[in-house]
Amino acid sequence: MAFELKPDVMILDLGLPEMNGVEVTRRVRASLPVAVLIVTVHDADRMAQDAIDAGASGFVLKADAARVLVDAVRAILRHGTFISERMRPAADLGSFGQKRTERVIRGPLTSREREVLQLLAEGRANKEIATALGITTKTAETHRARIMAKLELHSMSDLVRYAIRNHVIQP
């Protein structure tokens, strides 16, 4: 819808099914000059940094939304940034809006690998992933193997735990 409507601001939840808010932000910001505000229940600094790296201009906790949402939208519309007060100690505010070079994982996941990670963590089989993404089953299997290697995971349960801990999916 964003590509059709071309909004000035998008307010996204991190916990979207099939493609989380970070990935939606990344895709939309690659093509449109839209300000993105992420709203979530998660106060994990890793997810805030991922959202920022993807091009989000703001990050608001749902618990704070009633109080700060209007201010947050106004701030990002002025080409500024906004982050919930309770997130500030966890977020790297000095680099807000700039890509962080430090990575928790060994080499960053590609956009496609992030999609596959989410679908795997949601319990999809390689064949289902291939169909959903328009790729071959072998390509889905290759993405799975690369994800496991990059994240140094050894089983699907490790992958699901990683996805939950890093808020790729909700438990």
Domain locations in the chain as residue ranges? 2-95, 111-165
Average pLDDT score over residue span 25-32: 88
Task: Round to whole Å and give the CA distance between 5 and 25.
Answer: 15
DSSP assigned state of 122: T
Which amino acid makes up residue 157? S
Task: Round to whole Å and give the CA distance between 27 and 104.
Answer: 22
More confident residue, 5 or 97: 5
Report residue 101's pLDDT band, with 50, 70 and 90 as the boundaries.
Answer: very low
Q: Which CATH fold topology does 2-95 show?
A: Rossmann fold (3.40.50)
- pTM of this prediction? 0.55
Does the pLDDT of residue 3 top 90, yes or no? no
> pLDDT for 123-156, tens place per residue?
999 999 999 999 998 899 888 888 888 887 878 8
CB 23: neighbour CB atoms within 10 A?
19
The top-scoring range by mean pLDDT among 20-24, 92-96, 100-104, 124-128 is: 124-128
Does the pLDDT of residue 90 top 50, yes or no? no
**CATH architecture classification, 111-165:** Orthogonal Bundle (1.10)
Angle (nearest 5°) at CA 47 between 135 and 5: 65
Residue with tokens 């059709």: 4
